[in-house]
Amino acid sequence: MDSSLPTPSIPSKINLLKGHPNDLMLPEEPMKEAFKILSGQSLSPSSPSPSNLPTYLNYGDERGNASFLPILASFIEDSTKADVSDSNGCSPDTLFVTQGISHSLEILCRILKPSSVMLESPSYFLAASIFLSNGVTICSPPPMDVVNGGIDLDELERMLEKSLVPVPSAIYIIPTNNNPTGMTYSSSRREKLVRLASTYGITVIADEVYHLLDWREGAPRPGRMVSIAGAEPSLTISLNSFTKIFSPGLRLGWIECKHQPLLSKIENLGYIRSQGGVAPLNAELMRIVLTNDLFSPHLASVKSALKLRLDMILEKVASCPNITVPYPPTGGYFLWLKLLNVTGDEAAVVRALEDSQGVIVLAGSSCCQPSAPPLDGIFVRICFACLDTGLLMEGIDRICDFFS
Ligand X SMILES: Cc1ncc(COP(=O)(O)O)c(C=O)c1O
Residues 27-86 that bind ligand X (CB under 6 A): none
Short-list 181, 243, 189, CA closest to 212: 243
User: What does the DSSP 8-state code read for residue 81?
Assistant: T
What's the closest the beta carbon of residue 104 comes to ligand X, in angstroms? 8
What's the closest the beta carbon of residue 301 comes to ligand X, in angstroms? 20
What's the closest the beta carbon of residue 288 comes to ligand X, in angstroms? 20
Q: Residues 70, 248, 373, 377: which binds ligand X (CB under 6 A)?
A: 248
**DSSP H or E run through 56:** helix 53-57
Residues 180-219 that bind ligand X (CB under 6 A): 207, 209
Given a contact cutoff of 8 angstroms between Cβ atoms, the answer to whether 286 and 98 are in contact is no
Instruction: Write the binding mask 130 to 149 for ligand X: x where contact by CB under 6 A, - elsewhere.
Output: --------------------
Nearer to ligand X, 149 or 394 (CB): 149
Write the CA distances from 19 to 15, 193, 271, 381, integer angstroms: 10, 28, 30, 10
By CB under 6 A, residue 109 contacts ligand X? no
Nearer to ligand X, 22 or 102 (CB): 102
Beta-strand pair 362-363/378-383: antiparallel
Among the candidate windows 43-51, 82-90, 99-107, 224-232, which touches ligand X by CB under 6 A?
Answer: 99-107
What is the C-alpha separation between 309 and 384, in angstroms, rounded? 7
The stretches of 292-371 forming alpha helices (DSSP H) are: 296-318, 346-357
What's the closest the beta carbon of residue 81 comes to ligand X, in angstroms? 23
Residues 249-288 that bind ligand X (CB under 6 A): 253
By CB under 6 A, residue 243 contacts ligand X? yes
Nearer to ligand X, 283 or 349 (CB): 283
Q: Judge if the upstream peptide bond of residue 48 is cis by omega within 30 degrees of 0.
A: no
Tell me what percent of the chain is helix, strand and coil, each rounded to the nearest 5.
40, 15, 45
By CB under 6 A, residue 22 contacts ligand X? no
Nearer to ligand X, 184 or 357 (CB): 184
What's the closest the beta carbon of residue 230 comes to ligand X, in angstroms? 21
Short-list 54, 127, 90, 86, CA closest to 280: 54
What is the C-alpha separation between 271 and 280, in angstroms, rounded? 15
Site residues (CB under 6 A) for ligand X? Answer: 19, 100-102, 124, 174, 179, 207, 209, 241, 243, 248, 253
